[in-house]
Amino acid sequence: MELLQSADLYRRAADRIPGGVHSNTRARAPHPIYFERADGAFLYDADGNRYLDFVLGNGAIILGHGHPKVQAAVQAVLSQGLTTGSETRLGVEAAERLLQQVPTAEMVRFANSGTEAVMHALELARSATGRTRVAKAEGAYHGWDSAMYVSAWPDLAKAGSADAPAPVLTHQGADAEISRRTLVLPFNDVAATRRLIEEHAQELAAVVVEPVMMDIGYIEATREYIDELRALTSRYGIVFIFDELLTGFRVAPGGAQEYYGVTPDLSTFGKAIANGYPVAAVAGRREFMEQARPGGPCAWVGTFNAHAVSMAAMCATLQTFEGGGVWRTLQERMSYLEERFAQRAAERGVQVTLRGRGGNFHWYFTDADVRDYRSAATSSAERYRKFAENAAARGIWLAAGTLSHHSLTIQHEEDHLDAFVGCL
């Protein structure tokens, strides 16, 4: 596969952009690939090579690249010249549509990225409780805030015991004092999590959980674990926050809170809610959302919040979700992929397990029961590398990291999934 244009773009970029990329996860060896267009389930790079895309903007593309209804909605608002810095009819409609999709939430406000949304949710929790510390699960990624970017893909040599994980600073740019105050919980360990929360309950403003941990692949919380978190946070007046940036509208039409039958106090949404356009949301109980009302105790401002282009894309995307057909299609594709992958693995005698739901999925080269970060970390990086190289040779675009996550759109057909399975 010829990559002359990408190589040239990298030479130009490396002198002007750190690492030649605007997000570190896009770095590749020997250089990043630079793309020029996308359509349906495919990406096209600067050299004209076509790739079957299973990364999909980290799960943001749910309807397929360039979906006609979304693109038409965006073109319509662009023709009106309205972009940002003011409230619009579209912002109201988008809020109504999201709350209709997530009936457990009472109010919503928009931001521009998942990191922003999580930061806002934590500020609402601190404002409402008067407390400052927060808790999160080991291995979970919730964005770049110093309180949250802790023990994300941690070095297990520094992570302490499994039942009382130590907070591991993820990068030197974080405020170490804030990061070390974050309480790290062992995902899916009910007894240890109960003990840690009870020990620190009077200090905790919020417990944040990704109900399905997707930045280390695809690992569902047990229902017992989620129920226990809901009970503990209610008992001690701690704000319970679901990070649904990836689970939203893929795990179930109403998000993971519908799947688990649990109502969190606040939730963050992003990625798939606008089919790739930049928008995120915080939604939840009125008493917490009202903390950010104008003149209220908690600040929330942003020039690009509820940007008209993103609102148009969001309204069009959420409209396609009505009736549940999108989710059913994704789940049908997911079931087919799981069945074919398991069959191929058995035929070839490969110890690997693929798991997923609603079009989000990942696979682990391990015989361990993957239920948390530590068990996921046993997956063979070498086997994953060989699989990814096999895929790249066949024009299939996968994430570079062993513990990443992958996605489907409604534009992926069975022959696309067969091509993926053939890489094993």
SS3 340: helix
Q: Is the bond preceding residue 186 a cis peptide, omega within 30 degrees?
A: no
SS3 75: helix
CA distances from 161 to 143, 177, 200 (A): 24, 21, 18
Helix or strand holding residue 243 (H, E): strand 239-244
**Closest C-alpha to 238, from 211, 269, 203, 212:** 203
Give me the catalytic one of 10, 34, 51, 141.
141
Cβ neighbors of 280 (< 8 A, separation 6 or more) are: 110, 111, 112, 113, 114, 116, 117, 245, 268, 269, 270, 273
Identity of the amino acid at 416: H
Residues 133, 183: contact at Cβ < 8 Å? yes
Give me the catalytic one of 271, 277, 372, 373.
271
Query: Distance (Å, rounded) from C-alpha 89 to C-alpha 95?
Result: 10
**Closest C-alpha to 360, from 255, 264, 267:** 255
Question: What string of DSSP letters covers 14-72?
Answer: HTTSGGG-SSGGG--SS----EEEEEBTEEEETT--EEEESSHHHHT-SS-BT-HHHHH
Please indicate whether residue 141 is annotated as part of the active site: yes
SS3 293: coil
> What is the phi/psi pair of residue 341, to 5°?
-65, -45
Q: Which two tokens stand for residue 168?
A: 């591991």
Query: Distance (Å, rounded) from C-alpha 198 to C-alpha 14?
Result: 49
Please indicate whether residue 369 is annotated as part of the active site: no
DSSP secondary structure letter of residue 89: H
Q: Could you give the maximum distance between any two Cα atoms of the chain, in Å?
A: 64
CA pseudo-torsion sign 155, 159, 161, 163: negative
What residues are annotated to the active site?
Answer: 141, 243, 271
